[in-house]
Amino acid sequence: MRKIINHYGIHWSVLSTLARLLTVGVSSILLIAGSILVSESPAGAAQITPTNLASAAVGAAYTSSTLTVATAGMWSISAGALPAGLAFTSLASATTDTISGTPTGDGTYDFTVTVTDAVTPATYSQSYTLVVTGINPSPLTSPILVNTAFNSGTLSVATAGTWAVSAGALPAGLALASQASSTTDSIAGTPTTNGSYTFTITVTDAITPETYVQQYTLVVASQIPQPTLKLLATIAALENPITLITTGGAGTSAPTFAVTNGTATGCAISGTSLTATSIGTCIVTASEAATSTYLVANAKAATYTFVANPVAPPAVVATRVTGTAIIGKTVVLKISGRNFTGKPTVTSTNPGTRFSVAGDTGSLLTLRVTATAKAHKGIGTLTITELNGTSCKIKYVTR
């Protein structure tokens, strides 16, 4: 075979091989480039950045660092939950968002943020753990009574630290029980001056280091509110007076009541009894007098309803049984009578006997009766109980 050599002195077979390699190389480059264009983030790469959130404190305004994704989408929590008091700053389609608000309870919260881009489409997700530090409980029970011993109960934090009032002031006569390094403390003493007091307690743990901050407000009053006074509204037949009952309150005297006509006429109260002269509603209010300790308590108006006197349902009556129960078999018993309504409940004094209603015409009740081996031969008593509460009895035979 003849060798063909070009004017550069290169064998044509060598040039042909180089050309093929070049073609393959270009295709490979294009394929690789295409893969790069359509590929997603490498495994383990963060889809939403940053991947960690700074801790928050109970009662303190919080805004996370800016969360960012590659393409705009709708932001949501797809698993877990944000701490109470926190939310996304904006739920609009965007490449960025933040978590902001004022957390109301401490703890460690695990949740997943998801951004859904419906155009690309693409979904970005990132799991977060947000630690909320604080002093519990928050808030304190308030108001409290002047010149009366007070104790806040146990205040607690996650790690031991030194307790201090870092802003504002406690009411005169109150102080932190112990300012030593501890996970718990309390506010105790006897307040001597009325007023509203806002202050901040800080617990500083120099080892962690960690700082817990909580703002509180205590109101000191010469009288404090009674527990909420509430009327228990009810419905009754017109012929039956309604007894007025309240819950709450803390005074030493009994509640007093007042009434106005609603849709009923003749609404009146005698002691704790409410009556009316026609069906309809009566509007009742109640109050409990103030004492040296408590303010007056007023209950919200409650609506009481009188309805027409109920008509007693007709009594169900059974007069005759046709058929006999047989041990080991299922048979049909027919009971004649009146005022059967629907499907009553049927029971027997004979153990091991089951009943089901097969038919009810109002004057004839048809039963399927199964007497098991536990049943006894002889005379037993059936009790027929209607849905309206009326019942009757009749004897039958088992053999």
Burial of 187 (0-12, 13-18, 19+ CB in 10 A): buried
Higher pLDDT, 136 or 175: 175
> CATH code for 230-307?
2.60.40
pLDDT tier for residue 158 given thresholds of 50, 70 and 90: confident
User: Does position 6 have pLDDT exceeding 50, yes or no?
Assistant: no
Q: What is the model's pLDDT at position 220?
A: 93
Burial of 367 (0-12, 13-18, 19+ CB in 10 A): buried
- Same CATH fold, 317-398 and 56-133? yes
> CATH code for 144-221?
2.60.40.10
Higher pLDDT, 149 or 122: 149
Span 262-311, pLDDT tens digits: 999 999 999 999 999 999 999 999 999 888 788 889 999 999 999 997 76
Look at residue 268 and give its three-state secondary structure.
Answer: strand
Q: What is the model's pLDDT at position 346?
A: 94
Maximum mean pLDDT: which of 39-43, 90-94, 362-366: 362-366
Q: What is the model's pLDDT at position 4?
A: 41
User: Does position 40 have pLDDT exceeding 70, yes or no?
Assistant: no
Q: What is the model's pLDDT at position 46?
A: 58
What's the whole-number average pLDDT of the chain? 84
Q: What is the model's pLDDT at position 338?
A: 93
The pLDDT > 90 percentage for the chain reads 51
- Preceding amide of 143 cis, omega within 30: yes
Q: What is the model's pLDDT at position 251?
A: 65
Indicate the domain borders of the chain: 1-39, 56-133, 144-221, 230-307, 317-398
Span 202-251, pLDDT tens digits: 998 878 777 888 889 999 988 888 889 999 999 999 989 999 999 998 86
Token pair 């002195």: residue: 9
Cβ atoms 152, 191 nearer than 8 A: no
Write down the CATH superfamily of domain 317-398. Answer: Immunoglobulins (2.60.40.10)
Q: What is the model's pLDDT at position 154?
A: 92
Span 49-107, pLDDT tens digits: 999 998 887 777 889 989 999 888 888 899 998 998 899 987 778 889 999 998 877 78
Q: Full-prediction pTM beyond 0.85?
A: no
| CA dist., res. 24 & res. 43, Å (int) | 29
> CATH code for 56-133?
2.60.40.10
Quick one: which of 134, 112, 110 has its CA closest to 56?
A: 134
What would the mean pLDDT of 346-371 be, rounded to a whole number?
93
Phi and psi at 134, nearest 5°, equal 180, 180
Residue 191 corresponds to which tokens in the numbers above? 């307040």
pLDDT tier for residue 7 given thresholds of 50, 70 and 90: very low
pLDDT tier for residue 396 given thresholds of 50, 70 and 90: very high
